[in-house]
Amino acid sequence: DAGVIQSPRHEVTEMGQEVTLRCKPISGHDYLFWYRQTMMRGLELLIYFNNNVPIDDSGMPEDRFSAKMPNASFSTLKIQPSEPRDSAVYFCASSLSGLGSYNEQFFGPGTRLTVL
């Protein structure tokens, strides 16, 4: 398997523009996670899905952020309008449930977002 795929790898945009980040989870995984990482706040969980349904979006910073998972192989994280403080690395991860122990999460390479 190719692992978790994210696009774009780098995004530079201007304040006020809409930004869409994309993620393809590992085939067969039923959980998908979106994280954001900054120097100041570390790695934060924004939202996660189970079987394409959002389970917990308490980490989404504000209404400017939205995430969708229209099918098992694709998810988007959208920021509209973007602000300089949204600059960060955004990671997508997926995992497979059904195990009794903790379920390993597989992370994508991340999207480095810079909002000018």
Partner 1 sequence: LAKTTQPISMDSYEGQEVNITCSHNNIATNDYITWYQQFPSQGPRFIIQGYKTKVTNEVASLFIPADRKSSTLSLPRVSLSDTAVYYCLVVPGGYQKVTFGTGTKLQVIP
Residues that bind partner 1 (CB under 8 A): 4, 31, 33, 35, 42-43, 45, 48, 50, 55-56, 91, 93, 95, 97, 99-110
Tokens representing 66? Answer: 């939205």
Our CB check for partner 1 shows the closer of 33 and 65 to be: 33
Nearest residue (CB) to partner 1, 81 versus 112: 112
The radius of gyration of the chain from alpha carbons, rounded to an integer in Å, stands at 14
Q: Which of 41, 46, 40 minimizes the C-alpha distance to 62?
A: 46
Cα–Cα distance for residue pair 65/30, rounded to 1 Å = 22
Closest distance between partner 1 and the C-beta of residue 98, in Å?
8
